[in-house]
Amino acid sequence: MIYIFNCAKEICGLPARACHAFSQLCDYINCQPCQDACEVLANCCRGFTDKPLSSYVILTGLLSICELVLCLSAFNSPMLEGCTVRSHTMKVGVRSWLVIQIGFAGLNLLFAPYFQGQVWQNILVEVQTTGLRGKIGKDVVQGSFKHVFLHDFGVLFYFFALVASFLWSMSGSHWQFKAYCNPDGSVANAAWFGMCLFWVAALYSLAWYWCSCCARSVDPEAVRHDLEQRGPVGEEGEARASQALYHGQGPAGTQTNLVQSGVAPQYAPVRQGTGRR
């Protein structure tokens, strides 16, 4: 699974690399406004891909948008006027099925960034309260995922909605064999995309919950940027913990440097010597 997630990470990072390349091109032709705009876009793309579950958000977004396009295309097709067959399980017409399917597609489109945002906020809280230093390890990222997955009511609601969406998509797939009920294959394809979204969410959840290799470590620079956006921390102890991540503030007020060990990818604090006078 790690190879699949690394491949998805590289694909998601392509827009940032493209914007950075355009920025260098604008610098070559001395176009400063274009260069600044490209750098802003590159930083935005890079900031998004540095967060956990970015590949899940992109994949779910693409599938949901395709499903929405297919549903709207089928709904506006005049061919559906001749479709009088109702679903055997839900007892609804094809147009009513398409309306509900559009709602499920919109829910899938909105939930993915919501879930990513909740996991990211949990990581920020973990950094503020514990004063983690250096690179945020995979165990912290996976722990934040598990916490949100198990305790967030939005995730609980989406779980039941996702199961209902899968059953609803299965009930609409039979229209592909009915006359005038599947214009250009749009209805059957929309049902297929709806079932795919269920399996994507299920596979990502299982992989992230049980396999720590899927939860890559987080760059502290991305955490610093978002902590600055959050503003000052309410409690003084949390503020000191947040400062320890960036300034190397050790226990009892001692100053430390963050030095990466050659044995493991962790940052070990090393005390600075005061020297003799």
pLDDT greater than 80 at residue 145 = yes
Same domain, 33 and 111: no
What is the full DSSP assignment across 93-122?
-HHHHHHHHHHHHHHHHHHHHHHHHHHHHH
pLDDT greater than 70 at residue 255 = no
Residue finishing a domain among 214, 235, 260: 214
Same domain, 180 and 90: yes
CA quadruple 211, 217, 222, 224: dihedral sign: positive
Same domain, 41 and 99: no
Q: Pick the residue with more confidence: 58 or 18?
A: 58
Same domain, 110 and 30: no
Domain of residue 26 covers 1-49
* Number of domain units in the chain: 2
* The model scores a pTM over 0.75: no
**Amino acid identity, position 31:** C
Q: Establish if 141 belongs to a structural domain.
A: yes
Q: Which two tokens stand for residue 139?
A: 């165990």
Closest CA to 197 of 73, 77, 59: 59
In 3-state terms, what secondary structure has residue 26? helix
Closest CA to 193 of 172, 174, 169, 216: 169
Q: Pick the residue with more confidence: 133 or 184?
A: 184
Closest CA to 39 of 25, 52, 53: 25
Same domain, 69 and 181: yes
Residue finishing a domain among 177, 195, 214: 214
Query: What's the pLDDT tens digit per position in 48-98?
Result: 667 788 889 989 999 999 999 999 998 998 888 877 777 666 677 888 889
